[in-house]
Amino acid sequence: MLLSMVLFAFATSPLGLLARREPRALVGWGLALLPFALFVVLCTQIPTVVGGPPIVETLSWVPALGLELRFSLDGLSLLFGLIITGIGTLIVGYAGAYMEKDIGLGRFLVYMFLFMGAMLGVVLAGNVLTMFVFWELTSVTSYLLIGYKHDYPDARRGAQHSLLVTGFGGLALLVGLLMLGAAAQQVGVPADQAYNFDTMLAAGSQIAQTSLYGPAMAFVFLGAFTKSAQFPFHFWLPGAMQAPTPASAFLHSATMVKAGVYLLARMAPGFGDTPIWNYTLVAVGGFTFAFGAFVAFRQYDIKALLAYTTLSQLGGLVLMIGLGGKYGAEALVTLILAHALYKSALFMTAGIIDHETGTRDLNRLGELRRLMPRTMVIVGIALLSQMGIPIMLGFVAKEWALKAALESNLAAPWPMVGLAAIMVAAICYIIAAWRFFKNAFLGTAHPDVLQRNVHDPKLAMLISPAIPALLSILLPFALPLVSTFLSPAASAVYGQSFTFDLYLYGGINQALLLSLGAIVIGGALATQERRLASQRIIASISGAQLFDRLIEGMLAVATGMTRQIQSGRLRTYVLYTVLAFFVFVGIPFIFYGLGDVRTIQNDTFYFYEVVVIGLIPVGVIATITARSRLGAIIAVSMVGAMMALVFVLFSAADLALTQLLIEVLSTVFLLFLFSVMPARFRNFSPTWVRWRDAVIAVCFGVLMSGLVLASVSTTLFQPLAPYYLEQSVPGGKGANVVNVILVDFRSLDTLGEIVVLFVAVLAIFGLLRFRKQRNDVRPSGRTLQTILPGEAGFLTGNAAHEGDSSTPVGKAKENMP
């Protein structure tokens, strides 16, 4: 059932395209039936989950990597699942009305449905790798939604930031999860189960002892913090407000951003309660909680204001997990529910205000109480819940958060840190809420507002925020029911099954007093909201700009580096390549190969051998120092001729013949080519370059000689050559063993070499003829020069061919008795 739910969400996503047609509002609500169906199915599972163990389903996917499609439904998954599908239903209907005039609604809804499937996958996954698969999909769909209006640079920028930050976090998370899996295998969990949540968490205390635990947690935290917009990765979330409001309300307040929190909550029973865990989460969560709230009330854009309270709230959730204990778990799940309800209502009403008045700027609104009374009521209720005013769900949640801090078992300063963060946030929320409400609904209207015919939207749009707002006020009257529903979720976070009871009034106690105190202080400060907002204290910290700088800096480094490396000059490339050869081969040779270099035992040289070999360096030096091309050609032929003589001296007549042929041919080619070039060489390089090149060339030669000496002098094994001699006549029917090797023993090589020649002919003929036909050849005088590369290819191909096949043959010959 769980698997089919996720598949259903993905499979039905193309249906979103139906919303390309009119009437979009109606189609939107029709399509909202899809998530609603999932919502109903999940609701039917409440009794099973409340009473019993989690429902688990598995389907094999990539067993070799420990990745199976494993889904499990327990209290925590159920809570998230219901929020996703429930709010999803409202949002899809809302989107139909909100984007009634937008032709792209179809595409938008497809992304939304894909996202919903992915998000369901994240919260239902029972295998960390399965979860990761869906986790990445939420990042990608979020990217597409933020960049929905991609004609605008801001939308592209916001989308890119969100994807880079969450994608970076995703990769960190993957590394962290794989480390946890590796650690699980180290402590004896079988490989095929190492990535399942339940087995991993069961082995949690042992994993925490391994050396991998620390780095793994660091990477998991990176993943969770980026996804849930914790400081200092928070900046992508306000940028994500470029998305159309339905997407912001759904992804960036109610669901996706809570994925990080979900993951931490899910891991808490196994990996929680270690110093790394508690202190990191309390510090980061607490800071984000206070920081977000503090920045929130300074915003002018309603959506930005809501975005900052959202990231603050996410910090609060992380803080609860960090504080731990039963109260922490209880506060966490209550906060999640309360926040999802009021924040989605607020976002949707923000969208309504934007839709009706054409602006979200608090300075350009006012007096909407007269024009949009119904909207005002919804906003008012949701804001009361956000502020934590008594009898709202938010009030209950806040009180539990205070209790979690007061009752925490952590070492001395940490509970106080948490408490301080909660108080700061609670006070700032009140200021922010008041700022929103006062500037939008009270006071006198801005002229822009009066010019438009502003009124409450139609019911299709208004009903979506109304439902969660009403739930925020109604649920406190059914707290026992809410408690039974939340208990399994809290149990999943705590790690042991327990039940708890939420209440509105449990007698006078510290938490209540602190809560009321925060309200009083907040109320007092709220009257000064304009003056507070105008103070520039930390507003200059803009993470988005810093991030842009970081990217620009990296791009500058990349450009500089690439320009250095990829200079475009062949001679530089060759130089680098030779230097690389020294690193790759020279250094190992010094370390490992020198020991194998032995002097050649047979040291009786004949006079003519010395002469022939001595003439080779003479030829080489003559080639280098030659002033005219003709001289160079003659000198280089001398080298070739001496090589041929060496072959003769070692009685390899056919090799000598081949070598001579090649020499003659290449001399002819060179003469032909040089006939169109200046007769004398010109010197373009400065002296130090020539000396540098000379040194490199000599080193290279020494290295190659060393290699040959070392390998020739270490023949460890029986040679194969006798076999060829023996089999040449009976098996190969030929007396010339070299020929038999070429055409029989290794005939496949020879066939290949013939093909090489064939390819060379084709390539060069095609190149030259096609060029001629295409008419884009340069004026006739230059054609011969630009042909050079082709000719060079032909030459080298030819020479390489003959050289190659001679090598094994030559070796075979040397080994002959």
Partner 1 sequence: MANHLFLPLISPMLASALALLFARDKTRMVARVIVLASIIFNLIYSIWLLWVVGNEGIQVTQGAGWEAPFGVTLVADGASALMLCVATLLMLVTVSYSFASLDPGYENFFYYPLLLLLLLGVSGAFLTGDIFNLYVWFEILLLASFGLMTLGGSRPQLEGGLKYVVLNLFGSTAFLVACGLIYGTVGSLNMAHVAERMSSVTNPGIVTVIACLFFFAYGGKAAILPLFFWLPTSYHTPPVAVTAIFSGLLTKVGAYSLYRVLGLVLQDELIRLAPFVLAVAGLTMVVGVFGAMAQMNVRRILSFHIISQIGYSLMGLGLASAIGLAAGLLFTAHVMIVKTALFFIGGAAEQVYGTGDLKKMGGIARREPLLSIFWFLGILSLAGIPPMSGFFGKLALLQAGINQGALLISVVAAFTGILTFFSMLKIWNEVFWKKSYGDMSKLPRVTPGLLWPGAILVIISFALGIGAGGLVDYSQMAGAQLFDRAAYISSVCGSNGCEAVVDLALR
- Binders in 118-137 for partner 1, by CB under 8 A: 129, 132-133, 136-137
Distance from C-alpha of 17 to C-alpha of 26, rounded to nearest angstrom: 14
Note whether 315 and 355 are within 8 A (CB).
Answer: no
- Of 634, 719, 739, 802, the one binding partner 1 by CB under 8 A: 719
Note whether 511 and 397 are within 8 A (CB).
Answer: no
- Of 734, 764, 784, 802, the one binding partner 1 by CB under 8 A: 764
Note whether 242 and 159 are within 8 A (CB).
Answer: yes
Q: Which residues ranging from 190 to 249 are in contact with partner 1 (CB under 8 A)? A: 215
- Of 715, 735, 780, 817, the one binding partner 1 by CB under 8 A: 715
Q: Cβ closer to partner 1: 591 or 607?
A: 591
Q: Indicate whether 150 belongs to the interface with partner 1 (CB under 8 A).
A: yes
Number of residues that this document lists for the chain? 817
Distance from C-alpha of 701 to C-alpha of 689, rounded to nearest angstrom: 18
Q: Shortest distance, CB of residue 696 to partner 1, whole angstroms? A: 13
Q: Indicate whether 11 belongs to the interface with partner 1 (CB under 8 A).
A: no
Choices 61-69, 486-494, 515-523, 623-631 (CB under 8 A): range interacting with partner 1: 61-69
Q: Shortest distance, CB of residue 704 to partner 1, whole angstroms? A: 7
Note whether 79 and 486 are within 8 A (CB).
Answer: yes
Q: Cβ closer to partner 1: 149 or 355?
A: 149
Give the SS3 label for residue 685: coil
- Of 187, 391, 777, 784, the one binding partner 1 by CB under 8 A: 777
CA 769 to chain centre: 48
Choices 235-243, 328-336, 507-515, 589-597 (CB under 8 A): range interacting with partner 1: 589-597
CA 618 to chain centre: 59
Q: Indicate whether 770 belongs to the interface with partner 1 (CB under 8 A).
A: yes
Q: Cβ closer to partner 1: 481 or 590?
A: 590
Between the alpha carbon of residue 753 and those of residues 763, 778, 802, the distances in Å are: 15, 34, 8
What count of other Cβ atoms lies within 10 Å of the Cβ of residue 452? 12
How many residues belong to the site for partner 1 (CB under 8 A)? 124
Q: Which residues ranging from 320 to 349 are in contact with partner 1 (CB under 8 A)? A: none
Cis peptide before 232 (omega within 30 of 0): yes
Q: Shortest distance, CB of residue 711 to partner 1, whole angstroms? A: 4
- Of 18, 41, 46, 164, the one binding partner 1 by CB under 8 A: 164
Amino acid identity, residue 528?
Q
Q: Cβ closer to partner 1: 18 or 377?
A: 18
Q: Indicate whether 776 belongs to the interface with partner 1 (CB under 8 A).
A: yes
Q: Which residues ranging from 564 to 583 are in contact with partner 1 (CB under 8 A)? A: 565-566, 568, 570, 573-574, 576-577, 580-581
Tokens found for residue 99? 């984007």
Q: Indicate whether 748 belongs to the interface with partner 1 (CB under 8 A).
A: yes
Q: Indicate whether 592 belongs to the interface with partner 1 (CB under 8 A).
A: yes
Choices 23-31, 433-441, 608-616, 800-808 (CB under 8 A): range interacting with partner 1: 800-808
Q: Indicate whether 557 belongs to the interface with partner 1 (CB under 8 A).
A: yes
Choices 378-386, 476-484, 554-562, 676-684 (CB under 8 A): range interacting with partner 1: 554-562
Distance from C-alpha of 815 to C-alpha of 155, rounded to nearest angstrom: 73
CA 811 to chain centre: 52
Q: Indicate whether 759 belongs to the interface with partner 1 (CB under 8 A).
A: yes
Q: Indicate whether 793 belongs to the interface with partner 1 (CB under 8 A).
A: yes
Q: Indicate whether 707 belongs to the interface with partner 1 (CB under 8 A).
A: yes
Q: Cβ closer to partner 1: 496 or 718?
A: 718
Please return the burial class of 223, using the count of CB atoms within 10 Å of its CB with bins 0-12, 13-18 and 19+: buried
Q: Which residue from 591, 681, 673 is spatially nearest to 632, judged by alpha carbons?
A: 681
Q: Shortest distance, CB of residue 81 to partner 1, whole angstroms? A: 21
Q: Which residues pair with 57 in a beta bridge?
A: 71
Q: Which residue from 578, 745, 724, 739 is spatially nearest to 653, judged by alpha carbons?
A: 739
Q: Indicate whether 147 belongs to the interface with partner 1 (CB under 8 A).
A: yes
Q: Shortest distance, CB of residue 109 to partner 1, whole angstroms? A: 16
Q: Which residues of 746-779 are buried (b: 16+ CB within 10 A; e: fewer)?
A: beeebeebeeeeeebeeebeebeeebeeeeeeee
Q: Cβ closer to partner 1: 501 or 814?
A: 814
Question: ∠ CA 789-632-664 to the nearest 5 degrees?
Answer: 70
Question: ∠ CA 695-697-699 to the nearest 5 degrees?
Answer: 70
Q: Indicate whether 505 belongs to the interface with partner 1 (CB under 8 A).
A: no
Q: Cβ closer to partner 1: 458 or 692?
A: 692
Q: Indicate whether 67 belongs to the interface with partner 1 (CB under 8 A).
A: yes
Choices 317-325, 497-505, 631-639, 707-715 (CB under 8 A): range interacting with partner 1: 707-715
Choices 44-52, 280-288, 601-609, 788-796 (CB under 8 A): range interacting with partner 1: 788-796
Distance from C-alpha of 236 to C-alpha of 253, rounded to nearest angstrom: 13
Q: Which residues ranging from 405 to 434 are in contact with partner 1 (CB under 8 A)? A: none
Between the alpha carbon of residue 389 and those of residues 155, 314, 500, the distances in Å are: 36, 20, 22
Q: Indicate whether 585 belongs to the interface with partner 1 (CB under 8 A).
A: yes
Dihedral sign for Cα atoms in the order 625, 630, 631, 634: positive
Q: Cβ closer to partner 1: 373 or 553?
A: 553
Q: Which residues pair with 680 in a beta bridge?
A: 628
Give the SS3 label for residue 779: coil
- Of 72, 160, 255, 487, the one binding partner 1 by CB under 8 A: 160
Question: ∠ CA 124-204-483 to the nearest 5 degrees?
Answer: 50
Q: Shortest distance, CB of residue 551 to partner 1, whole angstroms? A: 8
Q: Cβ closer to partner 1: 538 or 557?
A: 557
Distance from C-alpha of 663 to C-alpha of 642, rounded to nearest angstrom: 11
- Of 179, 311, 314, 427, the one binding partner 1 by CB under 8 A: 179
Choices 230-238, 280-288, 681-689, 712-720 (CB under 8 A): range interacting with partner 1: 712-720
> Which DSSP symbol is given to 730?
T
Q: Indicate whether 796 belongs to the interface with partner 1 (CB under 8 A).
A: yes
Please return the burial class of 105, using the count of CB atoms within 10 Å of its CB with bins 0-12, 13-18 and 19+: buried
Choices 25-33, 37-45, 387-395, 556-564 (CB under 8 A): range interacting with partner 1: 556-564
